[in-house]
Structure 1
């Protein structure tokens, strides 16, 4: 994840206005990965690295029918997991990780997904971002998972400038009003995925453009940017 050009951070008042607006538009934002329990959520997030949510959902539909628990996943075996997820990038390494983490959940955690960052990050294929997603979605902890979309939005808007994902995460923890923390990373990820896109942000339909420090703003299709 390349570091973005440094911009001046927005004020706390602007940050509050941004999240108030997000809340008005979508009070209960949801992630786009499909899952049926804490275990399948964990597996889906592990598989989503360098893959689209839609691609992961297509592959895991049958996988989760066959193996909705750690025990069933271990029984399926690495090759069996590979067969179900072979349309996903890096599927061989991911299959090994999913099989290994399933065995660890059985051996160390009674077959349950732990509600603990350190324990989650000790699992194969699980880093800070994955742990944050599971802690946030399943355990309702106000964590912020910084993916490429959120990293871009945090820097581009001035909401949470940072050279690394961890810097952006820590900046957001300070900037986001407490009442909005639980949903903050979903709002920002979805905003980056569908509006504040990497190559050409759709500023003309952005609900927070008045606060954003990105310049020049992208004009509507067919209209030139104003002269500067």
Structure 2
């Protein structure tokens, strides 16, 4: 595991990310807070591209918890059966819709604890929603962020929670809001798992990864 990079280096790394992509965006399609929660829940062990394909028609007609209940579980399955674990996810989405209608007035809550009380919503999903919709500097650590954080020394940690905490503790405050998107996109397209594209990497000279590709 790489050592935590010092503050001046961290500041330079995120300055470069910001200069390259001032307003990074998540790649899951959604139309409101509710469809974002659903999309993120569906994306577990699936690609954003696959989820977007499955939800394209769904979100045109189903954009509230009540409309999801009206659609029914079988109707939902018809839309998402191309996504892995679709039966379990469909059950969770329907239970989530029911709870949102009965306990939250059909609105998506803006607290992590309330979000995590919903079926199929873990800490990562809650953090994505808090960050993308409510503009909170929450850090949703996925496999890409975990890899980049440990390789580069941006946020070293043996667990997801440790990496999340390292981002919160060490990324300069003015970069916290977009940090998770910059790191996800960097891991998805540049610092890939098997053959990282180090020659195309804008932070290669600052990164601690010892096995850089030539």
What TM-score results when the alignment is normalised by the length of structure 1?
A: 0.93
Q: Aligned equivalents of 1:53 and 1:69: distance in 2?
A: 21
Match 2:106 to one of 105, 111, 131 = 111
Match 1:48 to one of 43, 52, 56 = 43
Instruction: Using the TM superposition, give the Cα deviation of residue 63 of structure 1 relative to its aligned residue in structure 2, in angstroms.
Output: 1.2
RMSD (CA atoms): 0.6
Instruction: Using the TM superposition, give the Cα deviation of residue 215 of structure 1 relative to its aligned residue in structure 2, in angstroms.
Output: 1.3
Q: How does 1:1-228 map to 2 (within 5 A)?
A: 6-219=1-214
Structure 1 unaligned blocks of 5 or more: 1-5, 220-228
Residues 15-61 of structure 1, C-alpha deviations (whole Å, 9 max, x = no match): 11100000000100000000000000000000000000000000001
Residues 159-185 of structure 1, C-alpha deviations (whole Å, 9 max, x = no match): 111011110000010111111100000
Aligned residues: 214
Q: Which has the larger radius of gyration?
A: 1
Q: Aligned equivalents of 1:184 and 1:197: distance in 2?
A: 18
Structure 2 unaligned blocks of 5 or more: none
What TM-score results when the alignment is normalised by the length of structure 2?
A: 0.99
Structure 1 stretches (4+) deviating beyond 4 angstroms? none
Instruction: Using the TM superposition, give the Cα deviation of residue 216 of structure 1 relative to its aligned residue in structure 2, in angstroms.
Output: 2.5
Instruction: Using the TM superposition, give the Cα deviation of residue 95 of structure 1 relative to its aligned residue in structure 2, in angstroms.
Output: 0.4
Q: Aligned equivalents of 1:216 and 1:72: distance in 2?
A: 51
Instruction: Using the TM superposition, give the Cα deviation of residue 151 of structure 1 relative to its aligned residue in structure 2, in angstroms.
Output: 0.4
